[in-house]
Structure 1
Amino acid sequence: MSETSSLQKALDAVSLVALRGELTVREIGEALGLPRSTAHRLVGSLVKVRLLEPHRAPDGDVYAVGKLIEELNAGQLSWRSLLQQARAPMEALRDQTGETVGLHVLYAERRVLLAQEISQHPHRWVYDNLMVPMPLHGGAAAKMLLALLPDADMERLAARDYRPNASSGALADFVGRLRDIRQSDVSVTADEVNPGVASIAVPVIRDTRYGHPLAVLSLAAPSIRLNAEAIDKLQPMMRRTAQQIAQASAASARGVAIPRRLAAGASA
């Protein structure tokens, strides 16, 4: 089966389940004219990438459309709302600190940089992956997003995105560091993804009940400026900004008027 044909079969399988509702592997295979072994492999692959998800039934597993479809469909709407509330506070934090500020979300189990406010320093850090899905293993923002997840999801995605050939011990150490980040509510890295660059990340959206994705705020700068003393000074400012964005986003989602000081990004 060619790559194009395989992709078409995968799309057909997802479309079939979306149209008919919950189906067994046998039903999917029969409808698409696939041998049983091929149908099992296809459904297994679709489950791994969250396009389908299994449900228990009295006579065996049935499969429904996965959560990824819903996330992809809702992404733009939730992003626009979140960005609307985040722009002014992010600009204010950039002006207050002089460093590049970023807003990152968890989208389709990847980190996505939604927006950044760029430092005016001649020697600065600027993200070059705006709106590009990225793995979740490296950098302060990715680790903070991972740490916000329930244990089972955190461990599963850490195993997926951490160094491919890492030993079980190295992976366990990495998960342990994520739990430390969860406990401290801040992620700090230096020279990890890009030499000479350090970053801090704190949570913005940790509760997705209002339709917004998990989100974190980052601040990135050359390591020579973002030293231990600077990090201690910057954390309270970042937390205040993150709280402003979270409160304004929640109020907007509930249809509540946003206080002028929050909408304007005034610091507490």
Structure 2
Amino acid sequence: MQELADLVMPLSIGIIMFGIGLELRFKDFRRVFFYPKSVIIGLASQIILLPLTALVLVYFWPIDPVYKVGIMLIAACPGGTASNLVAKVLKGRVPLSITLTAFNSFLILFTIPFVVTLSFDLFAQESQQVDLGFWETMKEILLTVVFPVLGGIAVSEMVSDKTRESFHKPLNYILPGIMLLAFIIVVFFDNSNQDIRYLENAHLLIPLIILNILTMLIGFFTAQKLKLKHKTAYTIAIEMGLQNSVLALYISNELLSNDKLSLIAILYSSFSLLSTFGIALFLKQYGTKTATEN
């Protein structure tokens, strides 16, 4: 069953990204690159504000030091592909979301080793190095995000506007369904998720939930303060809320061989998709709207 879980997740991500690409065209990314303010603010929020928020939170939170390192690891792994789907479902700026995911996948090669090493020095009183393989990471992001999106956009460019419009409604049901199916398979069949007693770990869930909510609010209001449009602000909030828990789990298990660190990644992934969707929906509906163009 573990083999099934290992196969389903990357395959599901690829299909979802292809489906998202079907509703886009290359011109949709023009604004992102010609007016990069939203990209710069989004990346700065994820790479700088997110770990800083986690650092302040765990510094004062009374938990075992190794769990503090685990929360810092989660904060250092921004931009899971699920954020692209949530941005699509909530009609956020999907090209911005995809662009942030792609850029983050490169930047974390440098930021994760720095954050994790610093966290061990601060909290665990020991030094431990993390070395993310450049080509392995690039291959993963190319195969699961970049190539599927480009393939979907290529198909979108070749069909008529009427045909492209016909994709919208079924994809709104199909893509979330695929994500839900993948989530269920990973939760119930991935060996790393077995025997997790959530009630016994409530003291760890509380700071993780606070981190999720707090970082989304910080991302949203920072974007608005810097005069980004409402749609851009809640898209950045989505990116702040959904971390790459799969990557955090891989680092915990394969690179650091630490079950306590992997527990934090599992706990965060167990609620963050639903909580991020709910908070982003609230911000979309009730957040203060700004009229300034970015």
**TM bucket normalised to smaller:** 0.3 to 0.5
Greater RCO structure (CA 8 Å; 6+ sep): 2
Larger radius of gyration: 1
What is the TM-score with the length of structure 1 in the denominator?
0.33
When normalised by structure 2's length, the TM-score is 0.31
More helix by share: 2
